[in-house]
Amino acid sequence: MELLPMQECHVAGIAALERVCFTDPWSEASIRAELHNPLSCWLVAVEGGEVCGYVGSQTVLGESDMMNLAVAPACRRQGLGRQLVERLCDALREKGSTCLMLEVRRSNEAALALYAAAGFRQIGVRPNYYFHPKEDALILRKELIE
Ligand SMILES: CC(C)(COP(=O)(O)OP(=O)(O)OC[C@H]1O[C@@H](n2cnc3c(N)ncnc32)[C@H](O)[C@@H]1OP(=O)(O)O)[C@@H](O)C(=O)NCCC(=O)NCCS
């Protein structure tokens, strides 16, 4: 398994995994646009040419937002999600980012457990933030510098 910066050859695989993992998936075009966005940092886990997971972020004025994180169902509970988050934090730190924030569905126990273990803490709630189904988002934040 390799963790690589996202390239054009990964876009279709990421879009396919988005559709498997989310009820409101990013389109292939939106994902491709991130390749040309200087604010973006996306990492992809690849094995045998297949996309097994990815994480995407954008950074504005030294503060980063994680926009999506997913691991293919067949590859879950093997530490890949944790590795993607850790590698993203390292990459963002190197770019000078001071914190990483994200939104997560209140009911997403797997992601919440991963984020807690990775050092994120809850800083707020966005009521009814998500659709399909409607649900609150918890806002989490991790400091990237001591
Ligand atoms: C959330 C997700 C990315 C986790 O990926 P993963 O590769 O399975 O996660 P890891 O194997 O690195 O797990 C790290 C820790 O997270 C927690 N965790 C992960 N999956 C869990 C689950 N199903 N139930 C409870 N805890 C879980 C555990 O603490 C785990 O550590 P452990 O295996 O040592 O107990 C994956 O389940 C996924 O893609 N879900 C669908 C998309 C999604 O919800 N993305 C997040 C949007 S905010």
Is the distance from the beta carbon of residue 76 to the nearest atom of ligand 1 less than 6 Å?
Answer: yes
User: Which atom belonging to ligand 1 lies closest to the Cα atom of 82?
Assistant: 12
| DSSP letter assigned to residue 118 | T
Q: At what angle do helices 80-94 and 109-117 cross, to 10 degrees?
A: 50
Domains of the chain: 2-143 (3.40.630.30)
User: And the tokens for 39?
Assistant: 């604010």
Q: What is the pTM of this model?
A: 0.96
| Per-position pLDDT tens, the chain of length 146 | 999 999 999 999 999 999 999 999 999 999 999 999 999 999 999 999 999 999 999 999 999 999 999 999 999 999 999 999 999 999 999 999 999 999 999 999 999 999 999 999 999 999 999 999 999 999 999 999 97
Cβ of residue 1 lying under 6 Å from some atom of ligand 1: no
